[in-house]
């Protein structure tokens, strides 16, 4: 009998220790309803809007504005860079060749990554807006946060306007219905209005890497500069007006200070994406995507103190020779014999030939290991990791100067462009030209902003995009915007493909 | 037919006729004589020599019968010249002729009967047992003798080829690598397809907690009517392992095994001299001869010496018993530095209390420690890439290093990166069984499983891999997983006349907790500390320290009812209700019912005339619903904020802070995948020699979980886990076991399992989530193939369907030609997407396992093998190696030089091969020494494993994993976010060794 009682007690103990509670206990995460109650928590939320500027990689695509594939896309469809297939490397389904020859299809992954980079940034901001809205902050405290977030969101929409044109506008996190396209004009108006509405609440001071009034003016100036290309209405004077509101910046005497590892100190940078590998930032490895595998020997004796490079992107033939020998900016490309710092000799490749970067590239479909001059704008030095520390420049003061110069030329007042061009050429160590015309502006834009990921927009505005160059034939007008990626179209039947695709 | 053959056939027919006639005469003679009565008494023993109470003794041809008493004794008056027939369930029936000369006291010894024993065999069905003869579901049962023996590093290997419909696929010969277990084709695209493992009643544990030598029996629950009692975890079948516990008597057993493993198949690549001859013949001036003579594949390999030792003690009395075992194994891999070392121990003990054993306490404790060095699988690709003239070591005795992509010295990678992993497993349970109110048995069972992995890595300062230099990198990780369960159930069993009633009701609570932390640093001034002093690294990043924790729980109620009438009509119904914290808010609870019936036709009156040859014939039909909740994971239904690499720069302080961001698209509708399965089975037994089962099943899985690409906008991230698709698997299975010869001196037993499964994706989209096709089989990570896929998952096709261009062979100039949609041969530049087609799939048409055992006196011989037929594989290794751009820098296969190929690698049917194979798994020869002392036994044996593979596949091995490694990303970590790439041979062939071993088993009885 005793035994039965003992057993009964044991069994009933089992019942008491158990229950039917099925709620999930969180330990290392927090549910969204429980966050955003203190200013510090709100800071941590808003910070996320900036961190998503660095992009991300997932199983679907790499979406880095600094490298694969957003940067790759902007560069390879323009007239300044190429990712040629070298032997078995860099073919990758022909996606770079298609971009280069302007024969891209709707399933090109470079295009998908550009779409996802921007819309992920937008969705994040929408979710942060929703969180801030639910937070316990006062309305007065919320207003500048809303303005900053919406202005940053407008930056992504500006990119979409430029790249895809007729994109859906989504602003509400809670609305998960499938959106349909807006026209390019509607997107244009949206970007303009969001920025203008935000300006009164934005910070008037220079605050590095944050979306301030100056950043909003600069972005509006870009919008007006490309207004004709975007919506068919030229707004040159509006562009100049906006540029003139940008204050507090100067050109750095040393052009390359903008691209140094510690470039956050440059007084020229208006907007940038900060990076620091120690802070866990990823995606900023463009410096490893261009040079030859053995390039490390030019930086570190024995090569052990500098990362390997992938021998990918290089300049298109004609870019390097566009620079005068005296032009200080020409150093943004690495050309010629590459010297082993340990031996002082020219590096020998595995095939026995010297590692000499040539301007000539046989073909985008079949290039030799050493062909093409390499991207060397951002500082490369011993001790660097795969993930680089230099901040990626989005807008700098030189652009404000160039925009004004271009607008004056376009408005037929080339003389008024002189003071702006004067500053640019003086720093580059170049002579002032006798005449400033659109051709000069185009070439100067190439030289000033080589490999800064914005050449495609310039090519389109100048119309060169549609002309033949290198291995590319003439381009039809519809390719001024990219197609909506095929996987996006299949998952959202409300979307209509851009005309021509 | 020629005349000679005709003669032979006639001869056989004549012989057969005579045999039949003689047998007929034998039967006839039995009843021919009738004489006077005689009192006969005797004792009946079983095959081990113990007395057998309850055996039936009958005078043949009469109703005169008795049963043996508690001491196995009987007494019966029998006609002289007649026969008595002694029978006992599970034993062969024995006839004894009674003559005038028969001694008044006779001994009858009964032998075990293959079929009958199988029928009384007790089968675990979850929360209880049933006699095999009473089963209504599809369950395969194996005893310890039936399991695969040999150099075993992972417990699931003991089932390879043994159960029809259960495929155990070993993707690699690495002793530290596990296997993929898949029953009846699997049911899920993303979740685990592994069956639920139940050890001594504890569900959901790691199969490797049990060592093969501790296994008493394994029951594999295959159809939904059998597995529905495990509800949301039962969809992929259930493997119930019962471990040995104290049996009557005292014995000590030792088993030992030593083996030598070696590689028999490598890829035929150019040797240094072949390479030189090629360079000379082409007059290539770019080629660099480094002067060496290296076979890079062999440079990585070694002869693997392995050993294992197991010692166990068993002791059992009438009301208590225990068994304890200790084992050690050290299995070396054929790739240097790999292997698995394991020490494990196990104690089982039980004690009955009460005059009629009303209460039983039962406890078990299992523990083991594994040590291994994980392999960087990139060495295989390097070993195919490197120029054979590069020596392993340079003139200074250092590893030679030639720069280039994917060109690091693989021996250096293998030698200098130190990775030491250690895993600890523990499982303990305590079970109390109480009999009450005569027919009830209450069981309370509490258990705790703990599994911890400690990882330590050090990459020295000079290590460079894929461009990453870290100047010394050290990492320590620790993860642990705990699984606490409480279970309470009551069984009721009652026999009223011909009605047998059984019932079960129970409750269980399960809590899983996982947690872990890790730390890493790089930048070491000296390599002296290895991974032992992380603080010495000067370079550290924000993500260098991390920890995590999560929890889930599962609450269940379950019930089962059995009814049988006269052992002929059997009925089972089960239901389980599972509530899981992982499920979304809108679907917290799921119900999983099942029902099955069986009809034992052979027990019917009208079948009495078939008794002579048809011992058993049973039809079974079952239908049930089961679930799979593995694919969900924790917290997937919630809207969660987390910290990741989302740091942001604070310009006012110049410092970095961490951002909190939403991590996923929440899905409050998330639920289990639900599988409805119909099973129709026949069990039969013929001539008391052949037993078998035939099963037909049709299962339909809906609410398939898949991480769908969702449109951005409006979604936050590009993917979302959702229940959308539908998949079907239909198939047949046959299991046959034949005792071809059953003699005292010579016996011959053979078994065969066959399985055939047809899989189809029925649906992929619903109104919310739409996808026409999911691209899978990623080729990402192969040079020049970023972002390309080789397979599709699409409606109407099975998982793992190769989709691409069909090759039309090589053109005159060696350029690869393809068929376009119109059927014309074109170059790749002329191809469009519509030219792609179905190029076959990875699903085998037939899986097979065969085994044969012979004994002759004290000798025994066992042979077993398994095979898969009809499946296709993409030989991506071959595709990448047959590249005209490789030479002279990269090595190529011998075949390439004669192949004329001038096109760069492009995925097409050209590289897809039939991967059918049959593997001769083990051959063993043993000799049992007859020992004088109390039935003690000593067996020595010689065994060969993986002795031959019959295949037309051109790669290293046709047995290619179902979850082959996906692309490896830049940082060297496995890219697990992409889809699995089943059936793709891509450089990751760790060769399977051929192993020769000698072993010894010694049992000392007291």
Q: A45 and A139: one domain?
A: yes
Each residue of A73-104: pLDDT tens digit? Answer: 999 999 999 999 987 788 887 889 999 999 99
* Distant-in-sequence, close-in-space partners of B510: CB < 8 Å, separation ≥ 6: B203, B204, B483, B484, B485, B553, B554, B555, B556
Give pTM, 2 decimals: 0.81
Give the nearest partner residue to A18 out of B471, B486, B657, using CB atoms.
Answer: B486
Give the nearest partner residue to A22 out of B470, B555, B642, using CB atoms.
Answer: B555
Give the nearest partner residue to B646 out of A48, A119, A304, using CB atoms.
Answer: A48
Find which of A1, A2, A26 to mutate to test the B interface (most B CBs within 10 Å of its CB).
A26
Residue A12 lies in a domain: no
Residue B999, helix vs strand vs coil: strand
What domains can you pick out in chain B, each with its CATH number?
A: 37-112 (2.60.40.1120), 250-375+377-416 (no CATH)
Q: How far apart are CA B479 and CA B639, in angstroms?
A: 25
Percent of chain A with pLDDT over 90: 72
Say how many CB pairs under 8 Å bridge A and B: 299
| Type and span of the H or E element at B10 | helix B3-29
Identify all chain B residues contacting A347, using CB atoms and an 8 Å cutoff.
none
Each residue of B537-583: pLDDT tens digit? Answer: 888 887 788 899 999 999 999 999 999 998 889 999 999 999 988 88
pLDDT confidence bin for A9, thresholds 50/70/90: low
Give the nearest partner residue to A119 out of B581, B712, B979, using CB atoms.
Answer: B712
Q: A197 and A81: one domain?
A: yes
Residue in A closest to B786 by C-alpha: A92
Nearest CA-CA distance, residue B866 and chain A, Å = 36
Look at A310 and B647 and tell me if their CB atoms are within 8 Å.
Answer: no
Residues 366 through 385 of chain A touching chain B, CB cutoff 8 Å: 385
Q: Which of B18-27, B266-275, B550-559, B792-801 has the lowest mean pLDDT?
A: B18-27
pLDDT of residue B118: 53
Nearest CA-CA distance, residue A411 and chain B, Å = 39
CB B516 within 8 A of CB B469: no
| A40/B contact by beta carbon, under 8 A | no
pLDDT confidence bin for B660, thresholds 50/70/90: confident
| CA-based nearest residue to B588, from B580, B597, B596, B599 | B580
The DSSP code for A69 is B
Q: A198 and A49: one domain?
A: yes
Q: A192 and A67: one domain?
A: yes
pLDDT of residue A7: 57
pLDDT confidence bin for B255, thresholds 50/70/90: very high
Q: Which of A8-17, B288-297, B859-868 has the lowest mean pLDDT?
A: A8-17
Q: A196 and A56: one domain?
A: yes
Q: A43 and A164: one domain?
A: yes
Burial B800-828 (b: 16+ CB within 10 A, else e): bbbbbbbbbebeeeeebbbbbeeeeebeb
Identify all chain B residues contacting A108, using CB atoms and an 8 Å cutoff.
none
Identify all chain B residues contacting A168, using CB atoms and an 8 Å cutoff.
713
pLDDT of residue B305: 94
Last residue of a domain, one of A382, A402, A423: A382
Q: A307 and A188: one domain?
A: no
Look at A492 and B550 and tell me if their CB atoms are within 8 Å.
Answer: no
pLDDT of residue B418: 87
Q: A196 and A49: one domain?
A: yes
* Distant-in-sequence, close-in-space partners of B697: CB < 8 Å, separation ≥ 6: B138, B184, B222, B223, B677, B678, B679, B680, B729, B730, B731, B732, B733
Domain extent for A196: 39-202+480-491
Q: A190 and A55: one domain?
A: yes
Identify all chain A residues contacting B788, using CB atoms and an 8 Å cutoff.
92-93
Residues 299 through 358 of chain A touching chain B, CB cutoff 8 Å: 303-311, 350-353
pLDDT of residue B972: 29
Look at B660 and A310 and tell me if their CB atoms are within 8 Å.
Answer: no
The residues facing B572 across adjacent strands are B562, B596
DSSP string over B903-933: SPP--BGGGEEE--EEEEEEEEEEEEEEPSS
Instruction: Calculate mean pLDDT across residues B116-121.
Output: 57
Residue in A closest to B633 by C-alpha: A24
Q: Phi and psi at residue A422, in whole multiples of 5°?
A: -55, -45
Identify all chain B residues contacting A116, using CB atoms and an 8 Å cutoff.
712, 718
Identify all chain B residues contacting A91, using CB atoms and an 8 Å cutoff.
784-785, 904
Task: Name which residue leads in pLDDT, B289 or B71.
Answer: B289
Q: A193 and A77: one domain?
A: yes
CA distances from B501 to A489, B225, B226 (A): 60, 18, 18
Q: Over 70: is that where the pLDDT of B515 sits?
A: yes
Last residue of a domain, one of A356, A382, A408: A382
Look at B783 and A89 and tell me if their CB atoms are within 8 Å.
Answer: yes
Percent of chain B with pLDDT over 90: 41
Look at B784 and A92 and tell me if their CB atoms are within 8 Å.
Answer: yes
Task: Say which CATH number the domain at A195 has.
Answer: 1.25.40.390
Task: Decide the pairing of beta strands B37-45 and B105-109.
Answer: parallel
Residue A113 lies in a domain: yes
CB A58 within 8 A of CB B718: yes
Residue A322 lies in a domain: yes
| A174/B contact by beta carbon, under 8 A | no
Look at A59 and B979 and tell me if their CB atoms are within 8 Å.
Answer: yes
Q: Over 50: is that where the pLDDT of B268 sits?
A: yes
DSSP string over B175-223: TT---EEEETT-S-SSS--PPEEEETTEET--GGGS-GGGEEEEEEE-S
Residue in A closest to B974 by C-alpha: A59
Q: A193 and A292: one domain?
A: no
Identify all chain A residues contacting B641, using CB atoms and an 8 Å cutoff.
29-32, 35, 131
Give the nearest partner residue to B641 out of A32, A59, A126, using CB atoms.
Answer: A32
Residues 436 through 465 of chain A touching chain B, CB cutoff 8 Å: none
Identify all chain A residues contacting B358, using CB atoms and an 8 Å cutoff.
3-4
Q: Over 80: is that where the pLDDT of B189 sits?
A: no
Residue A400 lies in a domain: no
Each residue of A349-371: pLDDT tens digit? Answer: 877 789 999 999 999 988 999 99
Could you check whether the bond before residue B888 is cis, i.e. omega within 30 degrees of 0? yes
Average pLDDT, chain B: 84
pLDDT of residue A181: 95
ipTM of the complex: 0.86
Nearest CA-CA distance, residue A233 and chain B, Å = 28
Each residue of B950-962: pLDDT tens digit? Answer: 999 988 888 886 6
Residue A347 lies in a domain: yes
Residue A397 lies in a domain: no
Q: Over 70: is that where the pLDDT of B640 sits?
A: yes
Q: In this structure, what token pair is assigned to residue B472?
A: 């010394």
Give the nearest partner residue to A309 out of B402, B467, B786, using CB atoms.
Answer: B467
Residue A28 lies in a domain: no
Instruction: Calculate mean pLDDT across residues B248-271.
Output: 91
Percent of chain A with pLDDT over 70: 96
Alpha helices in A135-226 (DSSP H): 139-163, 184-198, 213-225
Q: Over 50: is that where the pLDDT of B24 sits?
A: no
Last residue of a domain, one of A361, A382, A403: A382
CB A191 within 8 A of CB A161: yes
Each residue of A177-229: pLDDT tens digit? Answer: 889 999 999 999 999 999 999 999 999 999 999 999 999 999 999 999 999 99
Task: Name which residue leads in pLDDT, B641 or B499.
Answer: B499
Residue A435 lies in a domain: no
The length of chain B, given as a count of residues: 1006
| A282/B contact by beta carbon, under 8 A | yes
Q: Over 90: is that where the pLDDT of B661 sits?
A: no
Q: How far apart are CA A105 and CA B130, in angstroms?
A: 63
Q: Over 90: is that where the pLDDT of A240 sits?
A: yes
pLDDT of residue B48: 64
Each residue of B204-235: pLDDT tens digit? Answer: 898 999 999 899 999 999 988 889 899 888 88
Each residue of A398-433: pLDDT tens digit? Answer: 999 999 999 999 999 999 999 999 999 999 999 999
Nearest CA-CA distance, residue B709 and chain A, Å = 7
pLDDT confidence bin for A12, thresholds 50/70/90: low
Look at A28 and B547 and tell me if their CB atoms are within 8 Å.
Answer: yes
| A2/B contact by beta carbon, under 8 A | no
Q: How many domains does chain A have?
A: 2
Q: How far apart are CA B596 and CA B592, in angstroms?
A: 14
Q: Over 60: is that where the pLDDT of B54 sits?
A: yes
Identify all chain A residues contacting B354, using CB atoms and an 8 Å cutoff.
3
Q: Over 90: is that where the pLDDT of B696 sits?
A: yes
Each residue of B37-50: pLDDT tens digit? Answer: 788 888 888 766 66
């Amino acid at each position: 009998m005793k035994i039965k009682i003992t057993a009964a007690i044991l069994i009933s103990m089992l019942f008491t220790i158990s229950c039917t509670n099925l709620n999930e206990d969180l330990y290392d995460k927090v549910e969204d309803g429980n966050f955003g109650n203190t200013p510090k928590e709100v800071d941590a939320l808003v910070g996320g809007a900036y961190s998503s500027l660095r992009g991300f990689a997932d199983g679907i695509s790499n979406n880095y504005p600094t490298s694969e594939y957003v940067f790759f896309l902007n560069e390879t469809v323009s007239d300044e860079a190429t990712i040629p297939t070298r032997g078995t490397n860099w073919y990758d389904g022909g996606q770079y060749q298609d971009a280069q020859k302007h024969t891209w299809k709707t399933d090109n992954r470079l295009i998908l990554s550009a779409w996802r980079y921007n819309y992920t940034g937008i969705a994040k901001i929408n979710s942060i807006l929703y969180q801030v809205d639910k937070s316990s902050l006062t309305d007065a405290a919320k207003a500048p946060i809303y303005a900053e977030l919406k202005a940053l969101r407008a930056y992504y929409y500006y990119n979409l306007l430029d790249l895809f044109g007729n994109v859906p506008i989504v602003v509400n996190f809670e609305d998960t219905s499938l959106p349909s396209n807006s026209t390019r004009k509607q997107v244009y108006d949206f970007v303009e209005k969001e920025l203008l509405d935000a300006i009164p609440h934005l910070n008037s001071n220079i605050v590095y890497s944050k979306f301030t009034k100056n950043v909003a003016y600069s972005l509006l100036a870009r919008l007006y500069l490309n207004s004709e290309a975007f919506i068919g209405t030229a707004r040159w004077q509006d562009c100049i007006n906006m540029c003139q509101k940008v204050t507090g910046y100067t050109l750095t005497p040393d052009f390359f200070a903008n691209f140094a590892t510690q470039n956050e100190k440059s007084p020229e940078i208006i907007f940038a994406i900060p990076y620091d590998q120690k802070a866990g930032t990823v995606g900023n490895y463009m410096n490893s995507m261009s040079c030859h595998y053995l390039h490390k020997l030019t930086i570190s004796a024995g090569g052990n103190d500098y990362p390997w490079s992938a021998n990918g992107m290089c300049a298109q033939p004609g870019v390097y020779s566009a620079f005068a020998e005296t032009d200080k900016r020409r150093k943004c490309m690495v050309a010629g014999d590459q010297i082993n710092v340990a031996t002082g000799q020219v590096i020998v490749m595995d095939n026995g030939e010297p590692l000499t970067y040539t301007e000539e590239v046989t073909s985008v479909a079949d290039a030799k290991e050493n062909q093409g001059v390499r991207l060397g704008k951002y500082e490369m030095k011993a001790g660097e990791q795969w993930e680089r520390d230099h901040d990626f420049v989005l807008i700098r003061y030189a652009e404000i100067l160039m925009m004004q110069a271009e607008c004056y030329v376009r408005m037929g007042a080339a003389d008024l462009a002189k003071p702006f061009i004067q500053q640019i050429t003086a720093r580059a160590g170049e002579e002032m030209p006798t005449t400033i015309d659109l051709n000069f502006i185009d070439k100067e834009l190439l030289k000033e902003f080589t490999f800064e990921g914005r050449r495609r927009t310039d090519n389109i505005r100048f119309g060169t995009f549609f002309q033949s160059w290198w291995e590319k034939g003439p381009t039809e007008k519809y390719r001024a915007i990219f197609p909506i990626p095929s996987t996006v179209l299949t998952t959202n039947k409300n979307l209509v493909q851009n005309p021509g695709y | 037919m020629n005349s000679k053959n005709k003669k032979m056939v006639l001869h056989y027919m004549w012989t057969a006729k005579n045999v039949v006639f003689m047998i007929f005469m034998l039967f006839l003679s039995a009843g021919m004589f009738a004489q006077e009565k005689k009192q006969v008494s005797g004792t009946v023993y079983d095959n081990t020599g113990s007395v057998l109470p309850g055996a039936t003794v009958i005078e043949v041809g009469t109703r005169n019968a008795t049963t043996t008493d508690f001491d196995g004794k009987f007494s019966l008056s029998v006609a002289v010249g007649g026969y008595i027939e002694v029978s006992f369930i599970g034993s062969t029936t024995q006839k004894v002729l009674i003559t005038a000369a028969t001694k008044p006291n006779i001994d009858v010894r009964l032998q075990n009967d293959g079929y009958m024993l199988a029928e009384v065999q007790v089968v675990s069905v979850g929360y209880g047992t049933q006699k095999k003869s009473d089963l209504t579901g599809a369950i395969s049962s194996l005893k310890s003798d039936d399991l695969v023996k040999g150099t075993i590093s992972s417990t699931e290997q003991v089932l390879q080829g043994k159960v029809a419909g259960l495929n155990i696929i070993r993707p690699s010969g690495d002793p530290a690598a596990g296997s993929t277990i898949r029953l009846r084709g699997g049911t899920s695209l993303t979740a685990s397809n592994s069956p639920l493992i139940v050890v001594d009643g504890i569900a959901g544990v790691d199969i490797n907690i049990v060592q093969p030598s501790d296994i008493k029996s394994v029951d594999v629950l295959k159809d939904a009517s059998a597995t529905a009692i495990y509800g949301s975890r039962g969809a992929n079948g259930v493997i119930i392992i019962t471990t040995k516990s104290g049996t009557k008597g005292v014995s000590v057993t030792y088993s030992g095994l030593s083996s030598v493993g070696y590689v028999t198949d490598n890829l035929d690549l150019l040797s240094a001299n072949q390479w030189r001859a090629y360079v000379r013949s082409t007059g290539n001036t770019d080629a660099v001869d480094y002067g060496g003579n290296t076979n890079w594949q062999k440079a990585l390999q070694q002869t693997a010496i392995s050993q294992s030792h197991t010692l166990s003690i068993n002791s059992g009395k009438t009301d208590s018993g225990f068994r304890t075992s200790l084992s050690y194994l050290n299995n070396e891999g054929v790739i240097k530095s790999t292997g698995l070392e394991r020490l494990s121990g196990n104690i089982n003990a039980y004690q009955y209390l009460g005059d009629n054993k009303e209460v039983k306490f039962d406890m078990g404790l299992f523990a083991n420690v594994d040590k291994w060095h994980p392999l960087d699988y990139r060495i295989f690709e390097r070993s195919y890439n490197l120029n054979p003239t590069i020596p392993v070591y340079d003139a200074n005795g250092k590893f030679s290093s030639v720069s280039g992509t994917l060109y690091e010295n693989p021996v250096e990678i293998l030698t200098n990166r130190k990775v030491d992993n250690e895993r600890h497993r523990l499982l303990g349970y305590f079970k109390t069984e109480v009999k009450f109110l005569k027919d009830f048995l209450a069981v309370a069972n509490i258990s705790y499983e703990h599994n911890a992995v400690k990882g330590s890595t050090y990459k020295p300062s000079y290590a460079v891999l894929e461009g990453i230099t870290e100047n010394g990198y050290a990492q320590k990780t620790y993860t642990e997983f705990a699984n606490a369960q409480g279970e309470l159930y009551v069984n009721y069993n009652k026999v009223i006349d011909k009605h047998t009633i059984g019932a079960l009701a129970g409750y269980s609570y399960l809590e899983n907790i996982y947690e872990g932390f890790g730390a890493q640093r790089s930048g070491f001034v000296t390599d002296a500390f290895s991974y032992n002093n992380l603080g010495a690294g000067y370079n550290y990043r924000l993500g260098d320290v991390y920890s995590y924790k999560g929890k889930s729980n599962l609450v269940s109620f379950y019930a089962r009812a059995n009814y049988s009438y006269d052992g002929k009509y059997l009925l089972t119904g089960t239901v389980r209700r599972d509530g899981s914290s992982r499920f979304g808010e809108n679907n917290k609870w799921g119900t999983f019912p099942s029902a099955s019936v069986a009809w034992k036709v052979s027990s019917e009156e009208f079948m009495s005339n078939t008794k002579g040859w048809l011992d058993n014939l049973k039809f079974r039909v079952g239908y049930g619903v089961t679930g799979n909740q593995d694919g969900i994971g924790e917290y997937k239904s919630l809207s969660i904020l987390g910290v990741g690499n989302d740091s942001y720069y604070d310009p006012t302080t110049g410092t970095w802070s961490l951002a909190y961001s939403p991590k996923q698209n929440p899905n409050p509708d998330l639920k289990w995948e639900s599988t409805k399965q119909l099973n129709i089975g026949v069990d039969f037994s013929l001539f008391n020699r052949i037993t078998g089962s035939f099963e037909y099943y049709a299962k339909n899985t809906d609410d398939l979980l898949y991480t769908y690409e969702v449109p951005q906008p409006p979604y936050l991230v590009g993917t979302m886990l959702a229940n959308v698709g539908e998949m079907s698997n239909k198939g047949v299975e046959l299991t046959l076991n034949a005792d071809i010869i059953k003699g005292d001196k010579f016996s011959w037993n053979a078994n065969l399992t066959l399985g055939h499964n047809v899989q189809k994706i029925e649906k992929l989209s619903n109104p919310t989530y739409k996808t026409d096709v999911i691209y899978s089989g990623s080729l990402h990570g192969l040079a020049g193939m970023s972002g390309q896929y080789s397979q599709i998952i699409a409606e109407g096709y099975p998982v793992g369907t190769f989709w691409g261009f069909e090759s039309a062979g090589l053109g005159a100039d060696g350029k690869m030609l393809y068929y376009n949609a119109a059927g014309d041969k074109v170059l790749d530049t002329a191809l469009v997407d519509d030219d792609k087609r179905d190029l076959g799939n990875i699903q085998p048409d037939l899986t097979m396992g065969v085994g044969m055992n012979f004994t002759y006196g004290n000798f025994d011989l066992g042979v077993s093998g398994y095979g898969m037929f009809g499946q296709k594989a993409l030989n991506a290794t071959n595709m990448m190696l047959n590249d005209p751009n490789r030479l002279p820098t990269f090595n190529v296969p011998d075949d390439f030089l004669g192949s004329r190929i001038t096109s760069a690698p492009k995925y097409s049917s050209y590289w897809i091969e039939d991967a059918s194979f049959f593997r001769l798994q083990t051959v063993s020869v043993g000799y049992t020494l007859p020992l004088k002392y109390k039935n003690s036994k000593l067996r020595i044996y010689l065994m060969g494993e993986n002795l031959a593979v019959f295949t037309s596949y051109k790669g290293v091995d046709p047995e290619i994993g179902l979850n082959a490694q996906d692309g490896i990303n830049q940082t060297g970590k496995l890219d697990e976010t992409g889809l699995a790439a089943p059936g793709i041979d891509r450089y990751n062939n760790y060769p399977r060794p051929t192993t020769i071993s000698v072993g010894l088993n010694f049992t000392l009885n007291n």
